[in-house]
Each structure stands twice: as structure tokens, then as C-alpha cells.
Amino acid sequence: MRTGGQVDLKRTQELFWELITAPEGVRAAIDDLSRRGLVDEPSLNSLFTGDQRLPAVERLDIYANMYFYRLLDCLAEDFPKTLAAVGPVRFHNLVTDYLLRHPSEHPSLRYLGQRLPRFIATHPLLEAFPYLADLARLEWARADVFDAPDVQPLARDVLARLPQDRAGDARFTLIPAFALLRFDHQVVSFWRKLDESAGGHGGTAAAGGAAIHGGGSGNAAREAPAPGASPSGEAPKPPSLPAPARRRAAARVWRRDFIVYHCSLDDEEARCLDLVIAGESIGRICQQLAAGRSLVKATARAGRMIQGWLEDGILAEVALNEATR
């Protein structure tokens, strides 16, 4: 700790950071360092100022609590509907368990919640809230596309300029701020109910008839307040809403300008978007749609679907072999 009689500032700073970010708490971290012969409480008191009223360990605890609650607030901002579904007490305990397993390791808090949906899938809380991992996946996708690179969406008139005899060979590229999700529960409608119960804005009609849900002030995944006491001093209770049905569903999430949207998809459109992601052609999409309908109806269905994608701005490019947009 000392070099030539002087305190090693760098090591002191590293120790301070190690103690206040220790997932098990400051006291457990000190005990562990003591067992390894790296630090003891007298030397700790010489490094970090304390007194009889507030010893060094308790001062460090204050910083540790501030650090934890900053992480808690960050996750509450990225997962407001997850917080609303389970309530602040359960969410607090969930975050505590999560950070014990996955402490923050990146300089940016942007990535703190990336493992939370998968963590929830193995957490005991899932027994009481079986849909919770799906809901968290939807929320993380919204947070993720909010920070995705921005590109100019494909203009509507570009397709009209394609040679008609080659249009079936064209391949689309989706914008980076896009995600295709599949769920075991009907969490899209549940997200809307949670949003409405919190005084949200609801949704608008998509080109395909599904409801589009978007954030009014940028990323709706960051709209809810951090968990804590209500103005009356009592912890807010989870809304009394029926749990979403267990039924497989699909959704797409995307950003346009600074607003994140999502909407439900039928199985057919989800499979067609799978083909787009895989780099398949418009002709292949029409083949997918031809099952159980005539080629004319399949082509019309493909046209309506692609028109909806253009209107929502999820297409970035269209290519004919080597010819690009």
C-alpha cells in the first residue's frame, strides 16, 4: 500500500473500487481480503478516514449502497414493465441476485441488463411469473434497438424502379435497429396493459392491422421511474392484471428516428421475416406464402406485407445480385 513511505494512490483507488462494487458487500469483501492477507481492518482505517461515529467500513458501505442503487435504477429504466409486473420489492431482490451472478463489468451501464432475460429464465421468480423472461426479452430488445446504428430507410419508389422480370430475385436488408422475437406467452398485449395502467399512450394501427406500441419520448423502455417509495411513503404495488396467456407469439421491434416501436406478428409474417434475415429473395417469400393459396393471392399478400415494411421503415436496402440500392 505504501511506496517509499507514501500511500500507493493507484492501489488505494483499486481497493476502494473493489470494496464498494463487491457483490457480497463491503464486510464480506474485507473478510475475503483479510483471509488472503491482502488487507486488514487497521490498515483499512489508515487508508480510508473514519471515526467513532462512522468507522471506515460504514463509510465504505454508504458508497457501496449508492453504487448498488445506481445499478438498480439503471435496470429499472431498461425494464420498467418487468418492474411493474413484479413490484419493487421482488424487483429489488431479483436485481440483487442478478448482480451477484453478473456484476457490472463494462465501463458503460448500457450493457448491464443484457443477461437479465436469460437469468430470469432460471430464477425462482419464474414460478410465480412464468411469462417474466419473455417480458424482459421484449424490454431488452426495445432498449437494444434504441442504441442501434441509424440508417436511412428504403424509399418507397425504389421497388418500382426494379425491372419487373427481375423483381422476384431482389433481396432485402433490414435496418440495424430491428429485432424479430418469438415468445411462449402473449407478452405484447400484456406490455400494452401495463403501459395503459401506468398512464401510457397505448398504440396505433400498423399497416398489417396489428397494434404498434411506441415510446413517446424516445425509448419507452426508459419511461418508468426507478423503484422506490411512492409520495405517500409506501412501496407501489404491482397492477392487478391477469397474467398473459401461454401461447406462442411473435413480434418485431424497431426504431424510427428516436422512437422505438413494437407490434405483434402472425406466424406467416414472422416466417417471411426469417427469410429476409436469411438473405432469401422476394420470390422465395412468395413461395412461402403460396402454401394454401393461389400465386396471385400469394403475390398480393407479399405486396401488402412489403408495403407495410416500407411504411414502418424497417427495410434498409434492396439488391439484385450485385446491383445495390
Instruction: State how many domains the chain has.
Output: 2
The radius of gyration computed from the CA coordinates of the chain, to the nearest angstrom, equals 26
Whether residue 121 lies inside any domain: the answer is yes
Q: What pLDDT score does 161 carry?
A: 87
Whether residue 111 lies inside any domain: the answer is yes
Q: What pLDDT score does 234 carry?
A: 47
Q: What pLDDT score does 291 carry?
A: 87
Say whether both 247 and 111 belong to one domain.
no
Whether residue 134 lies inside any domain: the answer is no
Say whether both 188 and 270 belong to one domain.
yes
Tell me the longest C-alpha to C-alpha distance in the chain: 87
Give the lowest-confidence range in 117-131, 132-146, 191-205.
Answer: 191-205
Residue span of the structural domain in which 57 resides: 2-127
Give the lowest-confidence range in 2-6, 19-23, 40-44.
Answer: 2-6
Provide the Cα torsion 76, 82, 88, 91; round to 10°: -90
Say whether both 187 and 252 belong to one domain.
yes
pLDDT band at 235 (very low <50, low <70, confident <90, very high): low
**Mean pLDDT for the stretch of residues 115-136:** 98
Summarised one tens digit per residue, pLDDT across range 138-159 is: 999 999 999 999 999 999 888 8
Say whether both 167 and 306 belong to one domain.
yes
Report the alpha-carbon distance of residue 6 to residue 60 in Å, rounded: 22
Give CA separation, 46 vs 17, 41, 51, 52, 221, in Å.
17, 9, 11, 14, 45
248 contacts 239 by C-beta, under 8 angstroms: no
pLDDT at 19 over 50: yes
Give CA separation, 33 vs 27, 36, 37, 46, 77, in Å.
10, 5, 6, 16, 34
Q: What pLDDT score does 236 carry?
A: 57
Indicate the burial class of 87 (C-beta count within 10 angstroms; 0-12, 13-18, 19 or more).
middle
Whether residue 174 lies inside any domain: the answer is yes
Q: Name the range with the highest mean pLDDT among 209-223, 228-242, 304-318.
A: 304-318
Q: What pLDDT score does 43 carry?
A: 66
Q: What pLDDT score does 232 carry?
A: 40
Q: What pLDDT score does 317 carry?
A: 96
Whether residue 142 lies inside any domain: the answer is no
Give the lowest-confidence range in 111-120, 216-225, 240-249, 298-307.
Answer: 216-225
The span from the first CA to the last CA of the chain, in angstroms, equals 62
Say whether both 309 and 181 belong to one domain.
yes
Summarised one tens digit per residue, pLDDT across range 239-283 is: 688 999 999 999 999 999 999 999 999 999 999 999 999 999 999
Whether residue 225 lies inside any domain: the answer is yes
